[in-house]
Chains A and B, each alone.
Chain A
């Protein structure tokens, strides 16, 4: 019996590990997180043609169906990076690629019934976005030293206007990681809660013990449509998270 639609987000302790005074317990969140990692690594490993003596995998020259999928992931993240940053951003490709695949796979695993969505927890998405933000700051300081402060001043502003614009720019800069994390979290959480609410309608209709109980099929049909919508949201949010990271990276590398 479903109590509330938010029950699906509960973190359950599966296996308790306590080391010194730290808690390294395996929860369902940690399990799904490891699963995301394992699935992508296994995919690259098993779909490759062979493993050479350096334990490196090589792909088929003519791709099979699964390899096309892996290549599509690679191409999408490469496209995202090079559309937003010029050739200078090439060295950040691994970073962007990992973010894209991680968010995408976490979102998609959450759509499997009875599984758990890691990205529907604020702590996961905010950790991601805050660490991205800290990394961007480090890149900016390394690259521009004191000129970094020109991030907060749009070009060609008079002194009077600058007094007004600098606090606004500073505020929007600080809100970048918050909006990045909360956007992903809110999309996933609201979507999954909506699915459970619709299932709840169907469930309470089924319990009617009446001829009307037949109509529980109507919310279930709506659920099928919403599942498609959720799939779209999962893909688009992974895309948007990556594209915004690219835009922020571009801001940091080529100051405006």
Chain B
């Protein structure tokens, strides 16, 4: 029972990491909007880089999500 409770608390704590990823993804796309509004002709080029940045940031988020899943289901 205590182990079960600790598991749930641990999984909940693991999701805190997602806050940082939210900030990161927001920064990536915010910067994209600013970049495009300053120079719309670079739109395609900027979008490719932004997608790369998004994927790198999202991966960090998924590490914490994966941790939560592992704590909940795999242990």
Using CB atoms and an 8 Å cutoff, list the residues of chain A in contact with chain B.
4-6, 179, 182-183, 186-187, 189-191, 193-194, 236-237, 239-240, 243
Complex CA gap A194/B72 in Å reads: 12
Q: How many A-B residue pairs have CB under 8 A?
A: 42
Contact bitstring B41-74, A, C-beta under 8 A = 1, else 0: 0000000000110111011001101100100011
Give chain A nearest CB distance to B25 CB in angstroms: 13
Known: A182-B59, A187-B62, A190-B69. 7 other contacts (CB 8 A): A6-B69, A186-B59, A186-B63, A189-B69, A190-B62, A190-B65, A193-B73
Interface of B is mostly: helix
Given contacts A183-B59, A187-B62, A190-B62, contact A5 B51 (CB under 8 A): no
Q: Give the interface centre of B51, B62, B66, B73 by most chain A CB atoms within 10 Å.
A: B62
> Is the interface on chain B under 10, 10 to 19, 20 to 34, or 35 or more residues?
10 to 19
Q: Which residues of A contact B65 (CB under 8 A)?
A: 186, 190, 194
Complex CA gap A191/B62 in Å reads: 9
- From A6, A182, A186, B74 is in contact (CB under 8 Å) with A6
Residue contact A4 to B73, C-beta cutoff 8 Å: yes
Which are the 6 A-B pairs with shortest beta-carbon distances? A240-B55, A183-B59, A190-B62, A186-B62, A4-B73, A190-B65
